[in-house]
Structure 1
Amino acid sequence: MWRSTENAYGLVTILFHWLTALAVIALFGLGLWMVELTYYDAWYRTAPWIHKSLGALLLIALAWRLGWRIIDRPPPPEPSLSRFERIASRSTHLILYLLLFAVAITGYLISTAEGQGISVFGVFEIPATLSHLPGQADWAGELHLALAMALIGLAAAHALAALKHHFLDRDRTLLRMLGRSSSPQQPTQERSPR
């Protein structure tokens, strides 16, 4: 099932979701680690190259994901969700998308501040279109870190909400993003002794 249905997300949406989650976690960890490297560390040049390449691929994937979301509407929220939960869910998803793009764009501005394009694993290059602004690398770097921290924080809250829906509410919210449309097992009732 490539496309979403009334009961579950389609395979393309599921892959975009989990690949994005893995990429964000990997990029965040790599980014924090690489800024602590010194000139004499073996990974001093390689880690930023990998970070930039993965970030560029993530930006391309995000554009595809957004296009896919426009043509493949997600299933409606679980009927058990309150009005507040529906609004919170829509708002969180919108802010996550905005943060993903903002983090990627500020990363692009850091990488192209001196007018050099971004080599994506040596396969192709994304050209520098906006560069040589006063202090570009510095302010873009500070903004990039702040936005990345906000993204990780909101993604963690998003994950906790999914776990809450699964374990406390016992609804299908998480299962649908795992490709399953059936409901979770209901707790078995204890039989009274005879």
Structure 2
Amino acid sequence: MESNTTSIQMGNSSHSYGWVSIVLHWSMAISIIALFVLGLWMVGLDYYSTWYHQAPFVHKSVGVIVVLTMLVRLLWNTSQPRPQIQGSVAMGLIAHTAHLTMYLLVVLLGVSGYLISTAESQPISVFNWFEIPVLFEPFDYQADIAGDVHEILAFSLIGLVGLHLVAALKHHLYDGDDTLRRMLKPIKNETN
């Protein structure tokens, strides 16, 4: 006798992403874009702005959470099957390389942000929930050097995110495959 209950697909399958991967993907995508916009906006604030201290606090806190979420995502990805890439082998290799590069950029942004934030030997408070301690004595021009690196990495990541979006839309609109649809909700295997 068949059960009429519908199970929620939390994990990935060979043809579809599960809800955990989907939620991790979109929460990171939204957070990364928001951090980029907030970063651009906050560097233009003057000392007398009401957001002069609050915007960097929010930026740092969300940044730490994004890096921690990226680490969770990497662990999750190693324990899950990877849905087959739709398209040629070359496109699959490009997609895989782009994903790894985005993951690396997020981690490097976290490191450079840490160096900016701890340049005055102050820990990073994450929404006053917990602190990331200063692990070593700051070096000369740490905030300036790390700030320049952080900016380059941020623009590189947002550029790659833009290319990722264009590729997803190309798959959806031009190729007509399930690449984008399967990152919106789990897709049942049509052979079942």
TM-score by length of 1: 0.90
Total equivalences in the alignment: 181
Matched, 1:31 2:39: yes
Distance 2:153 2:136 in 1: 20
Matched, 1:94 2:104: no
1:75: how far off? 1.0
Residue number in structure 2 paired with 1:134: 140
Structure 1, unaligned stretches of length 5 or more?
184-194
SS at match of 1:84: helix
Following TM superposition, where does structure 1 have runs of at least 4 consecutive aligned residues deviating by more than 4 angstroms?
Answer: none
Distance 1:17 1:131 in 2: 35
Which gives a bigger RCO, structure 1 or 2 (Cα 8 Å, sep 6+)? Answer: 2
Q: CA RMSD in A?
A: 1.3
User: 1:76-105 CA deviation, whole Å, 9 max, x = no partner?
Assistant: 212xx1122111111111111111111111
State, as a whole percentage, how many aligned pairs show the same letter.
Answer: 45
Residue number in structure 2 paired with 1:170: 176
Structure 2, unaligned stretches of length 5 or more?
1-8
Which of 142, 157, 160 is the equivalent residue of 1:151?
A: 157
1:129: how far off? 1.1
Code of the residue aligned with 1:137 in structure 2: it is: A
Distance 1:131 1:53 in 2: 22
Residue number in structure 1 paired with 2:52: 44
Which of 105, 112, 120 is the equivalent residue of 1:106?
A: 112
1:144: how far off? 0.2
Code of the residue aligned with 2:109 in structure 1: it is: V
Residue number in structure 2 paired with 1:60: 68
Distance 2:28 2:124 in 1: 20
The verdict on how the C-alpha distance between 1:75 and 1:146 changes in structure 2, with shifts beyond 3 A counting, is same
